[in-house]
Amino acid sequence: MTQALDTPRTDAAAPTAPDAPGGGVPLAPATPLWAGLAAVYRAQLSRTRVSRVPLLFVAVFQSVGIMILMRGVVDTGSDSAREAVVAGSSVLVVAFVALNLLAQHFGALRAANALDYYMTLPVRPAAVVLGMAAAYASFTLPGTVATAVIGALMFQLPLANLWALLLVVPLSGAALAGVGAVCGLLAPRQELATLLGQLGMSAALLLGIIPVDRMPWIIELGRDLLPSSYGVDAFIATYGTPDWTAFAANLAVCAGVGVAMLTVATWAFRRSARN
Amino acid sequence: MAMLGAAFTKGGGAAAPEPGAARGPADSCYRVAGLTKTYRTGRRTARTTVHANVDIDLDIRRGEIFGLLGPNGAGKSTLVRQLTGLLRPDAGSVDLLGYDVVRRPDVAPRLVAYLGQEAGALDELTVALAIETTARLRALSPEAARAARSAVVAELGLTDLAERPLKRLSGGQRRLACVATALVGDRPVLVLDEPTTGMDPVARRAVWAAIDRRRAEHGTTVLLVTHNVIEAETVLDRVAVLDEGRVIACDTPGGLKAAVGDEVRLELVWRGEPPLDDPAVARLARDAVRIGRRWTTRMDPATARELLAAVTSGPAFAVLDDFTLSTPSLEDAYLALGGRHEGLVKG
């Protein structure tokens, strides 16, 4: 079914609509993309006060725990091994929240018919999906930074290029939130949405923190298919002598996957809300 | 009946009419014809087809409070989900103020405020933010959204709850906050699916006062889904009675009750086993709908008085806990019209 994307857009501040009347009643204005996105983002961010803070602690503890575990396993004399563990653990926070929790959230909204709320407001599905994805990606920033700092101290890595996380988190966040949203919106049942989110996070965990040079080729292929790997590689590129070309290239992949997955998620949102 | 819709005039806008616009009579809000929706449930061998709505025709006038009354599972929610563009009908047409909702479901959110049964999307927000966000998503500017939020919070008496998350409120309070989200942004049509469920009388009065004000000032049309007969009798201008997916009657509450004729309702509640050898009790036992210890019958007033006198003066009185003799309600009308389900709520 066709839906709102082709409807005329008007200024958010307009009190009444200039649209064509139907028997004397004009249509109220549709909400512009950015206004809708901002409203959804703000509302989602406010939820941190209620339930997200404990989950962020879980995300950080999980990542720090994995780093402690890996310290006893990997060769701490190898730069690439240490970098892979810290970068993988940091991006794992993004995967936990943006992929796993967003998949669960969309699954729960669908199961409760709660998407009706958005579908009966004149807001574009893209604004809802992007607003939620952006909020979930934002939740991850403090946890990712905390993990990266703790990891750098544990594994004697430099802290100088930590600013790179300001790009790595939003872009890998967009890609992973996109995957999470698609899982949550397309899974036929809520339990499957949860399962897919968990599987995605487990994959990000296993494939993200193991150094690439130790992987069999087939596992490496799996790693290449996982969007979080490009976030990990972008972050690894900032260690030692930074390779900014690799940094930019990896982030470009994240951005591309983000655009593609969020587009699919927008389509899935419209589809799931109307059946 | 209030017919505020007469205040609307045709051709008030500048742009050309959209396809499908301005076909209906000027006083129609919703014109529904032949609406049919079928679901399939279950898996493979256990698969069954459910006729949620069958060939529904409705004409809801502008400015009226129109009710959909029926027990759970009668197809009320499925019907309003089609009227609000959430669900595509299998067949039939929905004309909303001149716009074809089946072909362009995106116009419904720009004309209708819908209050569904679920508040899941807002559960973790504070009352104030839930209302303000909804206003923003109805394209109000940030300032206008804040002003509208403050106004509706005061109007519905939500001031003390404004900073609390919805999920920490009682059922009735949460429902009141959800009604506030439906009222914000002044839509010409309100579609409210059981809006007052769980509310105390103070909150109910606040809701109906707020709706009445919008009707008086803006000619707002209200489509109310309810299974509460007392509320339906009190607030509705007209009501369509749904049973098993079909509209079995559509009239004013008074008109529907007239269908029951001049019969009265006699209710008896027993505290023990009633003596069935008593002729009056035996006659009641034959006619009554028995739910637990409560017997309900409809009959002409003279017979009712006679049977009641016999019961209250004979041996049956010893085990009689309570009795009421009342004029018919919409529930009686529903049953008299052929409604096959219990499940309407009184009070």
State chain B's mean pLDDT as an integer: 85
Question: In DSSP terms, which residues pair with B58 in a beta bridge?
Answer: B32
Whether the Cβ atoms of residue B319 and residue B275 lie closer than 8 Å to each other: yes
Calpha distance B166→B318 (Å, rounded)? 50
Return the half-sphere exposure (C-beta side, CA atoms, 13 A cut-off) of residue B54.
11
The residue written with tokens 């959800």 in the block is: B178
**Range of the structural domain that residue A140 is part of:** 30-273
Calpha distance B53→B51 (Å, rounded)? 6
Cβ contacts of A19 on chain B, cutoff 8 Å: 13, 15, 18, 110
Q: How confident is the model at residue B338 (pLDDT cuts 50, 70, 90)?
A: low
The one-letter code for the residue type at B156 is L
Calpha distance B73→A104 (Å, rounded)? 29
Using one digit for the tens of pLDDT, what is the confidence trace for A103-125? Answer: 999 999 988 888 899 999 999 99
- Nearest-Cα distance to chain B for A199, in Å, is 25
Whether the Cβ atoms of residue B230 and residue B221 lie closer than 8 Å to each other: no
With a pLDDT cut of 70, the percent of chain A lying above it is 87
Whether B107 has a pLDDT exceeding 70, the answer reads yes
Q: CA distances (Å), B224 to each of B36, B76, B96, in order?
A: 20, 10, 16
The residue written with tokens 């595509």 in the block is: B88
Contact A109 B96 (CB under 8 A): no
The sign of the dihedral angle between the CA atoms of B282, B286, B290, B292 is: positive
Whether B299 has a pLDDT exceeding 80, the answer reads yes
The domains found in chain B, sorted by start residue, are 19-257 (3.40.50.300), 262-327 (3.30.70.260)
Contact A18 B98 (CB under 8 A): no
DSSP letter (8 states) at residue B124: T
* Residue A222 included in any domain: yes
What average pLDDT does range A232-242 have in this prediction?
91
How many other C-beta atoms are found inside a 10 Å radius of the C-beta of residue B11? 10
Q: Which of A217-226, B32-41, B54-63, B226-235 has the highest mean pLDDT?
A: B54-63
Give the least confident one: A168-172, B139-143, B187-191, B279-283: B279-283
Give the least confident one: B27-36, B96-105, B112-121, B179-188: B112-121
Cβ contacts of B24 on chain A, cutoff 8 Å: 23
Q: How many domains does chain A have?
A: 1
- pLDDT of A38 reads 95
Calpha distance A183→A100 (Å, rounded)? 9
* Residue A12 included in any domain: no
Kindly write down the DSSP assignment for every residue of chain A, as one continuous string: ---GGGSPP--TT-SS--SPEETTEEPPPPPPHHHHHHHHHHHHHHGGGTTHHHHHHHHHHHHHHHHHHHHTTS-TT-HHHHHHHHHHHHHHHHIIIIIIIHHHHHHHHHHTTTHHHHHTTT--HHHHHHHHHHHHHHHHHHHHHHHHHHHHHHTT---TTGGGHHHHHHHHHHHHHHHHHHHHHH-SSHHHHHHHHHHHHHHHHHHHHS-GGGS-HHHHHHHHH-HHHHHHHHHHTTSSS--HHHHHHHHHHHHHHHHHHHHHHHHHHHHHHT-
- pLDDT of A140 reads 87
Considering only the beta carbons, identify the residue of B12, B137, B141 that sits closest to A21.
B12
Q: Is A1 on the interface with B (CB under 8 A)?
A: yes
- pLDDT of B223 reads 96
Whether B21 has a pLDDT exceeding 50, the answer reads no
- Nearest-Cα distance to chain A for B117, in Å, is 9
Residue A185 phi, psi dihedral angles, 5° rounding: -90, -25
- pLDDT of B17 reads 39
Using one digit for the tens of pLDDT, what is the confidence trace for B153-207? Answer: 999 999 999 999 998 999 999 999 999 999 999 999 999 999 998 899 899 999 9
What average pLDDT does range A194-203 have in this prediction?
90
Q: How confident is the model at residue A52 (pLDDT cuts 50, 70, 90)?
A: low
Q: Is B96 on the interface with A (CB under 8 A)?
A: yes
Higher pLDDT, residue B127 or B279: B127
Q: With both helix axes pointing from N to C terminus, report the angle between B171-183 and B127-137 in degrees, rounded to the nearest 10.
A: 30
- pLDDT of B41 reads 77
- pLDDT of B36 reads 94
Contact A116 B116 (CB under 8 A): yes
Calpha distance A244→A238 (Å, rounded)? 7
> Pairing state of beta strands B112-115 and B189-193?
parallel
Q: A interface mutation test: which of B23, B80, B106 has the most A CBs within 10 A? A: B106
Using one digit for the tens of pLDDT, what is the confidence trace for B192-248? Answer: 999 998 899 899 999 999 999 999 999 999 999 987 888 888 889 999 989 889 998
- pLDDT of B14 reads 36
Whether the Cβ atoms of residue B239 and residue B300 lie closer than 8 Å to each other: no
Q: A interface mutation test: which of B38, B81, B136, B164 has the most A CBs within 10 A? A: B136
Considering only the beta carbons, identify the residue of A17, A114, A274 that sits closest to B120.
A114
Contact B85 A119 (CB under 8 A): yes
* Residue A17 included in any domain: no
Calpha distance B24→A200 (Å, rounded)? 52
Q: Is B152 on the interface with A (CB under 8 A)?
A: no
Contact A24 B10 (CB under 8 A): yes
Burial of B277 per CB tally in 10 Å (0-12, 13-18, 19+): exposed
For A:33-52, CB contacts with B below 8 A are 35-36, 38-40, 42-43, 46-47, 50-51
Calpha distance A226→A194 (Å, rounded)? 18
* Residue A20 included in any domain: no
Q: Is B9 on the interface with A (CB under 8 A)?
A: yes
B281-290 — which CB contacts under 8 Å span 24+ positions? Answer: B281/B311, B281/B314, B281/B316, B283/B307, B284/B311, B289/B342
- pLDDT of A50 reads 60
The one-letter code for the residue type at B305 is R
- Nearest-Cα distance to chain A for B160, in Å, is 19
Calpha distance B261→B275 (Å, rounded)? 31
Q: Is B50 on the interface with A (CB under 8 A)?
A: no
- pLDDT of A49 reads 62
State chain A's mean pLDDT as an integer: 85
Tokens of A118: 């958005």
Higher pLDDT, residue B68 or A72: B68
The residue written with tokens 């509706």 in the block is: B152
* Residue A1 included in any domain: no
* Residue A125 included in any domain: yes
For A:70-129, CB contacts with B below 8 A are 108-109, 112-123
Q: Which of A215-224, A233-242, B134-143 has the highest mean pLDDT?
A: B134-143
Return the half-sphere exposure (C-beta side, CA atoms, 13 A cut-off) of residue A193.
22
- Nearest-Cα distance to chain A for B344, in Å, is 24
Give the least confident one: A17-21, A236-240, B78-82, B180-184: A17-21
Whether B23 has a pLDDT exceeding 80, the answer reads no
Contact A25 B111 (CB under 8 A): yes
